[in-house]
Amino acid sequence: MSFDPPPPTASIRKRLVLLSGLWLAAALLATGLLLVHLFKVHAEEAFDAELSGQIEELAALADLNVEGKATIGLPPADPRYGRAYSGWYWLLLQDGKEAARSRSLWDGDLALPAPLPAEAFNLTGPRGEDLRALTKSIRLTETAPPLLFLAAGPQQRIHAASWDFAGHIALTFFLLGGGLIAAILIQVTWGLKPLQRLRQSLAEIRAGKKHRLEGNFPYEISPLTDGINELLDHNSKTVERARTHAGNLAHALKTPLAALMNEAHTMSGPEGERLQTLASEMNASITHHLKRARIAAAKGVLGSRTELAETASRLIQTIGKLKAGRSLKATLEGERGLWFQGERQDLEEMLGVLIENAFIWAATRVRVTLGQAERHIHVMIEDDGPGIPKERQAEMLERGKRLDESVPGSGLGLSIALDLAEAYGGRLELGVSDLGGLAVRLELPKAS
């Protein structure tokens, strides 16, 4: 059985960090892609500049023979143009026809587009490799027709440089992102500290350690803290008024009821006995329902808590003294330091009727065991008496039901304890003790 509100489904800190992390990741990714693109553009421009320089060298080495045919007297200084299928190639075109070529082309050909673009372009090499080429039209003399020079190199060089740059960017941004996420965590944690203090203060109020929110809170949440304090004060005053009204009502009812009971005592015969019985039942019912009304008004108010072991120990000693004529052994076992989230007088009444009931029916021994679960505390009251048959345990929780009419009592003890437990959101169960008698398990909300 749960006594606490369900846990929150989301965290403000997680939301802020997640949202900031997503925006940061998107920004870093967009920036990284932009930088890689800009680097690739820069690498292509640098590559084109290198090809342009090689074309200028070819133009310086070119000449026209007596027949007017263009030739290259000496090969370029770059050895890559002399190595077969190196990926670096050049061509000299005159009147649209090949006039000279690099040795690196060997017996292969370049798949030239028609017409040749005026700017850098991509083409396929003799072995199917991707090349980037640049052409220039240059006149060797003022009167000579222009010659077309073409230089080409492997695009893999650009791709490799771009991928290498992208790897460095990814590593750098990963480290930068990690540092920024850590900074965001620190910022969010520090920024939400007032809310953590508010949460801690509310927990202390719920546990009964404080009655109001104390301390200075930021401007943004001070209206919330002021409203909570006003609500706590209002609830406290409402409960106090409810208690006062309940007390006034009890006094107003019990005074004429006491007069009625005194009158019944003066009467003799069955009529007097019947009137006394009715008056006693009325008195018990009034007391019971006034208590239920008081608990209903007070159970939702934060701040009430009662130490369990101390209350149980005192009740065992008190009831044991009242039963001093019998040789009973009563023990208190289990955990200490457990707190009931409710009023002391209600805990005393619940435990009192159950422990007294155990003393009445026990033969030689009464055992009270304290324990806890995640959200509740429990008390097990056991005796070695005759117990209650399983088939009659549910019946015995009804008001006024008694197993043995020869034993003094009104039969209200178990039902009163059950009503009080249920009013606090707890429960009461009957069972069989290993001592041989009745085992009563009482579960109640736990205060931290």
Identify the pLDDT of residue 224: 83
Residue 268 lies in a domain: yes
Identify the pLDDT of residue 231: 83
Indicate if 41 and 155 belong to the same structural domain: yes
Name residues of the chain where pLDDT drops below 70: 1-10, 207-208, 243, 246-247, 250-251, 254, 268-269, 284-285, 287-303, 324-325, 396-413, 448
Residue 322 lies in a domain: yes
Indicate if 320 and 293 belong to the same structural domain: no
Q: Assess contact for 427 and 440: CB atoms under 8 A.
A: no
Indicate if 106 and 22 belong to the same structural domain: yes
Q: Are strands 365-372 and 329-334 parallel, antiparallel or unpaired?
A: parallel
Indicate if 316 and 408 belong to the same structural domain: yes
Identify the pLDDT of residue 289: 65
Q: Which amino acid is at 236?
A: S
Instruction: Output 26-33 pairs: Cβ under 8 A, ≥24 positions apart.
Output: 28/173, 28/176, 28/177, 31/173, 32/166, 32/169, 32/170, 32/173
Q: Assess contact for 357 and 414: CB atoms under 8 A.
A: yes
Indicate if 425 and 277 belong to the same structural domain: no
Identify the pLDDT of residue 349: 87
| Interatomic CA distance for residues 257 and 239, integer angstroms | 26
Cα dihedral 48, 49, 51, 55 sign: positive
Indicate if 169 and 38 belong to the same structural domain: yes
Q: Assess contact for 304 and 208: CB atoms under 8 A.
A: yes
Residue 36 lies in a domain: yes
Q: Which domain holds residue 356?
A: 306-447
CA angle in degrees (0–180, nearest 5) for 407-413-416:
160
